[in-house]
Amino acid sequence: MEPLLTVEQSLLQGMTAQAAFDGQPANLVTLQNVNGMRVVLMDIGATWLSCQVPLKDGVREVLLGVNTMADFIAHQSFMGVTVGRYANRIAKGCFSVDGNDYHVSTNQAGNTLHGGEEGFDKRRWSIESQSANTVTFSLVSEDGDQGFPGKVNATVTYSITDDNQVAIGYKATTDTTTPVNLTNHAYFNLMGAESGTDCREHRLMIAADRYLPTNEVGIPHGELVSVEGTGFDFREAKLVSQDFMSDEDQVPAKGYDHSYLFDAERDTQHPVAVVTSPDACITLSVFTDKPAMQLYTGNWLAGTPNRSGGEYSDYAGLALETQYLPDSPNHPEWEQPSCFLKPGEEYRFQTVYQFDC
């Protein structure tokens, strides 16, 4: 537990003391509700920096993060950022649109990860509007940005409600057909970001019958498979550690770093994922109208700076990244809406994180 103002003041001081990528200091926004729950957001990367959940004996910071801009610039784990233009991976950075071939920025093992070398996470988003409980960030991604076709106008709106929901709404338009896939890359540890608790001791439910196997660098083999009889089956809540590393598909990734496809006909009023802290004090329910979600158990977090001047260990937090399936531009056969946004259309999705204490 940390005093409420300690977390917030530390962020305000540390994140603005040094210039961001563009040479100017960051701008931070705090949203709050009547219960004392607060979230801190930043215009650099439209980033979710902090989520302080009130409990009977204080507040608990449940998001992994950093306290200084120097650490934010240096770290490679995408903590809390908005990623795009295309979240997750595109094989070899290659895809085709209307007969035209494109090769976009590659930044991991010869593939494109989270938009390339200078993805949306490294940009200063404009603060379009804000109130006590809502803020909207906007970004213009010009034609040719990281090699992607078309000019994209994107907005991300964060809202906090009095029943302890954090809602993230995504919108985008384009003047040329282009793949768009936005998500937030928050890492959750419901015992507390600096508690040292392993995220594998959380209980997890994922309402999905199929997952997507990948190769040693996270690129899909091409076919979704049933979770039945595998360690990827979270249809009934279980400890993340229960079947950890029990599948051949988990070994190259050092754990879970895989996407689940949801039933297209599902009731979106029901959660796609539910996480419970080891002490059962906090339950996080995730609701979304996006077609899929990447479960990542922080397998490569070791060495990432934390807020206390130290470093996180592997498995310090888990990410639940709602999105299209990875490498979707090259797999039109998958049973999900097209990841290609066309002129005259609007990319429009929402993900809600409900915290119950």
How far are the Cα atoms of 89, 152, 209, 233 from residue 227, in angstroms, in the given order? 22, 36, 6, 5
Pick the closest to residue 353 from 12, 36, 55, 63 (CA basis).
Answer: 63
Pick the closest to residue 11 from 54, 59, 61 (CA basis).
Answer: 61
Pick the closest to residue 85 from 72, 109, 104, 100 (CA basis).
Answer: 104
Whether residue 270 is annotated as binding a ligand: the answer is no
Q: Which residues have CB under 8 Å from 56's CB, separation 6+?
A: none
Cis (ω within 30 of 0) for the bond into 124? Answer: no
Q: Is residue 345 annotated as a catalytic residue, yes or no?
A: no
Whether residue 185 is annotated as binding a ligand: the answer is yes
Structure tokens at 294: 């990447």
The residue from 8, 114, 321, 331 that is catalytic is 321
CA dist 233 and 328 (Å) reads 23
Whether residue 187 is annotated as binding a ligand: the answer is yes
CA dist 321 and 68 (Å) reads 24
DSSP state of 125: P
Whether residue 315 is annotated as binding a ligand: the answer is no
Q: Is residue 333 annotated as a catalytic residue, yes or no?
A: no
The residue from 185, 202, 258, 331 that is catalytic is 185
Amino acid sitting at position 313: S
Whether residue 89 is annotated as binding a ligand: the answer is yes
Cα-trace Rg, the chain: 19
Show binding-site residues for beta-D-galactose: 88-89, 185-187, 257
Hey, which residues are catalytic here? 185, 321
Show binding-site residues: 88-89, 185-187, 257
